[in-house]
Amino acid sequence: MHELLSRLGLARDENLGGFDGEHWLGTGTPLDVITPIDGARIASVRPIRRAEYEHIVARAEAAFRTWREVPAPKRGEVVRRLGDALRAHKKDLGALVTLEMGKITAEGEGEVQEMIDVCDFACGLSRQLHGLTMHSERPRHRMYEQWHPLGVIGVITAFNFPVAVWSWNAAIAAVCGDTTVWKPSPKTPLTAIATTHLAARVCRESGVDPAVFSLAFGSVEDVGEPMLADPRFPLVSATGSTRMGRRAAEVVGRRLGRTLLELGGNNAVIVTSHADLDLATRAILFGAVGTAGQRCTSTRRILVHRSVRDELVKRLVRAYATVRIGDPRAAGTLMGPLVSHDAVAAVQSALARLKEEGGEVLYGGAPLDGPAFPGGHYVEPCIAAAKHEYRIVQEETFAPILYVIDYGGTSRPRDHVTLLGEMREAIALHNAVPQGLSGSIFTHHLVEAEAFLAHTGSDCGIANVNIGTSGAEIGGAFGGEKDTGGGRESGSDAWKSYMRRQTNTLNWGMDLPLSQGITFGE
Ligand code: NAD
């Protein structure tokens, strides 16, 4: 572990949580960073305090004024080099993600791969960032729009994707000409410090101010809340719980700043009577158990047609029984620990509420202890029979609990009217939660698939057919509706959130005609 830390520029004690582009800062009381793998202390970090926050933001603001002068494709080149640095450190940074957050090795490295992919994407984007041209109603006038850099972007991230979410924001913001100040999760400061070390080195080697990628690890009081209220941030991009997002929207909204919110999900898979159950079982297993159910896109609800319900549950129970739980670094482990004791307690409390409401545990759900499960962070993944109206089903419990809810008749629909009626029922259940992030349908029936994707179908930001709810590619815009916050990050045209749009009209004639045919004077 010592070697891993030092290869990533980290010390055992008193790593500093702030970076202003030149110096590392942190005078807060040192915090121990604990690994959920066995509860052991990995290292300590000194958070920054309010005065250091002020200093870091001022430096990031100054860096913005220089960075925006760098041509976008040259900014893209710096981000391309960042991608190369991440390639070179993929295994180490992935291992640190595993150590600090507890996801299995393949997923830890996968998270770093996602950062690399975003850097590649952002580099290509740096030669586009295009506006439209419009036809003017006035002769010898040209009208078009441009996208200009926005400023310093506040990036608040959650524990479960401790570095990838930063890259979705920071790499895209950087090619857009913005600088970022990153407030990572209190649970995962080490990965943030290691990533900022890499980014700083790339900036220095590229001759640009490392304050382009600034870091402000500190408490909600010293950093989080000040960031929300700070008018120097035209945009705050915040990933986390709906509760946090609501607060961010209120405080940033009060000063008419912009927010980009990526909040909780309550993602469902519809399994119809025309589903390939083998495919569905594999996708649900990955969606519900992957990252120990701690993805915003984790599968939390199964809406299954009554004709295939028992068979699907049988297959799921069989598949769950094969999941190897334990040290996420060990080959063959599919499910590691939950991030905290609170998360383990949340599973127990959710299952108690489920039972009170009349639900039934069909598989798992117990906390695990003994020598193979040190530290008290391990649980069995759980499958439970539930009804849609249970209050617990409406909530996001950030853990591997899967609620099975049935719909439709006991046999495959024989006519079109019945089929459409049942799809309406399934879609209504699918949409009847406060969150709107991701959902999918398993079917080989064209009508069912199209009904799900139609504007009257899924109300989520991500809607898939015959693949699960999680594991989105970076090329698409990522995000969701309703209590998920409405933000879009990563691919497609999500970059537009990090720029300001300007409409330009240019008169190359000798007259001054007014729009709407107005004459004024003469
Ligand atoms: P959390 O809300 O507890 O914390 C997220 C971040 O917000 C942390 O950095 C935290 O310190 C900060 N924060 C909390 N209160 C704040 C305040 N008042 N002002 C400023 N910052 C504040 O979430 P978590 O437990 O770290 O992560 C899990 C949650 O994140 C789940 O709900 C999950 O669905 C969601 N999530 C969503 C996405 C997405 O893209 N939609 C991605 C990852 C995680």
Q: Taking a C-beta distance cutoff of 8 angstroms, is the pair 368, 325 a contact?
A: yes
Closest CA to 47 of 191, 250, 144, 186: 186
Q: Is 244 in the pocket of ligand 1 (CB under 6 A)?
A: yes
Residue 380 appears among annotated catalytic residues? no
Residue 242's closest CA among 219, 222, 262?
A: 262
Read off the pLDDT of residues 224-278 as tens digits, 9 standing for 90 and up: 999 999 999 999 999 999 999 999 999 999 999 999 999 999 999 999 999 999 9
Å from CA of 359 to ligand 1 middle: 29
The reply to whether ligand 1 has any atom less than 6 angstroms from the CB of 156 is yes
- Coil, strand or helix: which one is 317? helix
Residue-by-residue pLDDT tens, the chain, 522 positions: 889 999 999 999 999 999 999 999 999 999 999 999 999 999 999 999 999 999 999 999 999 999 999 999 999 999 999 999 999 999 999 999 999 999 999 999 999 999 999 999 999 999 999 999 999 999 999 999 999 999 999 999 999 999 999 999 999 999 999 999 999 999 999 999 999 999 999 999 999 999 999 999 999 999 999 999 999 999 999 999 999 999 999 999 999 999 999 999 999 999 999 999 999 999 999 999 999 999 999 999 999 999 999 999 999 999 999 999 999 999 999 999 999 999 999 999 999 999 999 999 999 999 999 999 999 999 999 999 999 999 999 999 999 999 999 999 999 999 999 999 999 999 999 999 999 999 999 999 999 999 999 999 999 999 999 999 999 999 999 999 999 999 999 999 999 999 999 999 999 999 999 999 999 986
Question: Looking at 119, 176, 203, 296, which residue is catalytic?
Answer: 296
Token pair belonging to 383? 């499958």
Residue whose C-alpha is closest to residue 378's, from 449, 330, 413, 439: 330
The answer to whether 457 and 294 have CB atoms below 8 angstroms apart is no
Measuring CA to CA, how many Å separate 11 from each of 16, 39, 214?
9, 19, 19
Ligand 1 atom nearest to 261, measured from its CA: 41
Block residue for tokens 């600090």:
100
* CATH class of the 1-263+485-503 domain in this structure: alpha beta
The Cα 350–Cα 336 span in angstroms is 20
As a whole number of angstroms, the distance between CA 105 and CA 92 comes to 10
172 neighbors 490 (Cβ within 8 angstroms): yes
Is 296 noted as a catalytic residue in this protein?
Answer: yes
> By three-state DSSP, how is residue 172 classified?
helix
Cβ partners under 8 Å of residue 342, min gap 6: none
Atom of ligand 1 nearest to the CA of 248: 19
| C-alpha–C-alpha distance, residues 452 and 454, integer Å | 6
Encode pLDDT of 268-312 as tens digits.
999 999 999 999 999 999 999 999 999 999 999 999 999 999 999
Q: Is the CB of 161 under 6 A from ligand 1?
A: yes
Looking at residue 209, its amino acid is D
| Angle value at C-alpha 116, between 67 and 334, nearest 5 degrees | 145
Q: What six digits make up the tokens of 434?
A: 């406060």
Question: What is the DSSP annotation of 77-122?
Answer: HHHHHHHHHHHHTHHHHHHHHHHHH---HHHHHHHHHHHHHHHHHH
Protein residue closest via CA to atom 42 of ligand 1:
296
Is 188 a pocket residue for ligand 1 (Cβ < 6 Å)? no
Q: Which of 100, 236, 239 to mutate to test the pocket of ligand 1 (most atoms within 8 A of CB)?
A: 239
| CB-ligand 1 contact for 247 (6 Å cutoff) | yes
Alpha-carbon separation of residue 433 from 61, 265, 271 (angstroms) = 40, 9, 18
Q: Is 171 exposed, middle or buried (0-12, 13-18, 19+ CB in 10 A)?
A: buried
Give, for 348, the enclosing helix (H) or strand (E). Answer: helix 341-356
- Check if 422 has its Cβ closer than 6 Å to any atom of ligand 1: no
Query: 373 CA to middle of ligand 1, Å?
Result: 27
For the chain, the structural domain boundaries read 1-263+485-503, 268-473
SS3 label, residue 19: strand
Residue of minimum CA distance from atom 1 in ligand 1: 240
The pTM (predicted TM-score) of the whole model is 0.98
What is the whole-number distance in angstroms between the Cα of residue 489 and the centre of ligand 1?
15
85 C-alpha vs ligand 1 centroid, how far in Å? 27
ipTM of the predicted structure?
0.98
Which is the closest atom of ligand 1 to the Cα of 242?
32
- Judge: domain 268-473, CATH 3.40.309.10: yes
